[in-house]
Amino acid sequence: MDPRTHQDLSLHQRRRPPTAEELDGIPWLGQLQAPERERAVAALLVGDAKAGDYVCRVGRPVTYWFGVVEGLLKMSSDNAQGQTMTFTGVPPGGWFGEGTALKREPYRYNIQALRRSVVAGLPIDTFHWLLDHSIGFNRFVMNQLNERLGQFIAAREIDRFGNPDVRVARSLASLFNPVLYPGVGEVLRITQQELAYLVGLSRQRVNEALKALEAQGAIRVEYGGLRVLELAALRSSIFQLQEGASAARD
C-alpha cells in the first residue's frame, strides 16, 4: 500500500469522479444532448486543490479543459525578470483554456489555486469530440472565446491608466461576468487579500478602492465576500474612475 497520505499526492493524483452536486455546477453540460452529456460525464474528473497548487503551468502540454466548481484560481505568467503578472481570477462556474485546448499547444500561463478549490477537467480528446459532434457545446465555447476577447481588450485599455481604483473596479467587474462565471451570482466569496493578489496591490489599497465603489452604490462589502448591487453601476464606475484619472493626469 502506498504510504503517502491523500494530502501528499499531487493534484493530478488526487483526481476523482465528480459528485452529482458538482456536475450541477458545470454550466455547459445543460447545453448537450443526452448521448453527448453521457459521454462527457463519463470522462469528467475533479481534483481537490489546496491553496498554492498549480492546475497547469507554462510550457506543459494541454491534457484537460479545466473549470472551477468551487473556490478561486488565478491566471498569471512570469516575465524575463522573474516578475509575476496576474491576468485574471477564475471564480466558480468559470472554464478556461479553450484556446489552448483547440490548438493543442503548451500552456502560456500558470493557473494556481488561491484557496482550497474543486477543479474539474474534461480530457482533451473528449473536448475535441464534443466540438465535432455537439452544436450546443460549440456555441458555449464560441461565446466563451468572444466574451473573453472583449474582457482582455477592455483590460488592456484600462491598465494603461494605472489607476488603482480603476484596476480594482475592472477586476471585480471581470469576476462578476455572468457569461464567463455563471456560478458567482450576486455574491463573490473573496477576501480583500485574495483580491489584492489578483490586482497586484496591497490589501490596504484594495480596501480604499472598495470603500469608494461602495460609496458609489456599485457594491456592498459583506462578511466573507462582496455583493454587486448593480453590475451596470459597477461597470459605469470604471468609466467614471477612468475619466477622473485622465482629467487628473491632464
pLDDT tens figures, 192-235: 999 998 888 899 999 999 998 998 888 999 988 999 888 777 77
Residue 236 binned pLDDT confidence (cut-offs 50, 70, 90): confident
Q: What is the CATH number of the domain that holds 212?
A: 1.10.10.10
Measured distance CA(86)–CA(127) in Å, rounded = 26
Is pLDDT at 100 greater than 70 in this prediction? yes
Same-domain check for residues 227 and 196: yes
Same-domain check for residues 75 and 152: yes
Phi, psi for residue 158 in degrees, rounded to 5: -70, -40
What is the pLDDT, as a whole number, of residue 138? 97
> Hunting for cell 451570482 — which residue is that?
185
Residue 1 binned pLDDT confidence (cut-offs 50, 70, 90): very low
Residue 241 binned pLDDT confidence (cut-offs 50, 70, 90): low
Same-domain check for residues 134 and 185: no
Same-domain check for residues 145 and 29: yes
Give the angle 16-22-25 at the CA atoms, nearest 5°.
140
Q: Which domain-ending residue is among 159, 180, 209?
A: 159
Residue 3 binned pLDDT confidence (cut-offs 50, 70, 90): very low
Is pLDDT at 41 greater than 70 in this prediction? yes
* Mean pLDDT computed over every residue of the chain: 87
Same-domain check for residues 44 and 66: yes
Same-domain check for residues 103 and 189: no
Q: What is the CATH number of the domain that holds 129?
A: 2.60.120.10
Give the angle 33-143-35 at the CA atoms, nearest 5°.
10
The single-letter DSSP state of residue 16 is: B
Which residue did the predictor score with more confidence, 136 or 247?
136
Residue 6 binned pLDDT confidence (cut-offs 50, 70, 90): low
Same-domain check for residues 201 and 77: no
Same-domain check for residues 84 and 205: no
Same-domain check for residues 153 and 31: yes
The domain in which residue 89 lies consists of 1-159
Q: How many distinct structural domains can be found in the chain?
A: 2
What is the pLDDT, as a whole number, of residue 78? 77
Q: Percent of the chain scored above 70 by pLDDT?
A: 86
- DSSP letters, 180-241, are T-TTTTTEE---HHHHHHHHTS-HHHHHHHHHHHHHTTSEEEETTEEEES-HHHHHHHHHHH
Residue 170 binned pLDDT confidence (cut-offs 50, 70, 90): confident
Specify the range with the lowest mean pLDDT, choosing from 70-79, 159-168, 224-233: 159-168
Same-domain check for residues 101 and 183: no
Distances (CA, A) of 221 to 116, 164, 191, 201, 216: 22, 18, 10, 18, 12
What is the average pLDDT across 146-161? Answer: 72
What is the average pLDDT across 180-189? Answer: 90
Is pLDDT at 156 greater than 90 in this prediction? no
The single-letter DSSP state of residue 162 is: -
Residue 166 binned pLDDT confidence (cut-offs 50, 70, 90): confident
Residue 122 binned pLDDT confidence (cut-offs 50, 70, 90): very high
73 close to 127: Cβ distance less than 8 angstroms: no
Which residue did the predictor score with more confidence, 32 or 170?
32
Specify burial of residue 86 (Cβ count, 10 A radius: 0-12, 13-18, 19+): middle
Same-domain check for residues 186 and 123: no
Specify the range with the lowest mean pLDDT, choosing from 89-103, 155-169, 225-239: 155-169
Q: Which domain-ending residue is among 131, 159, 187?
A: 159
What is the pLDDT, as a whole number, of residue 116? 95
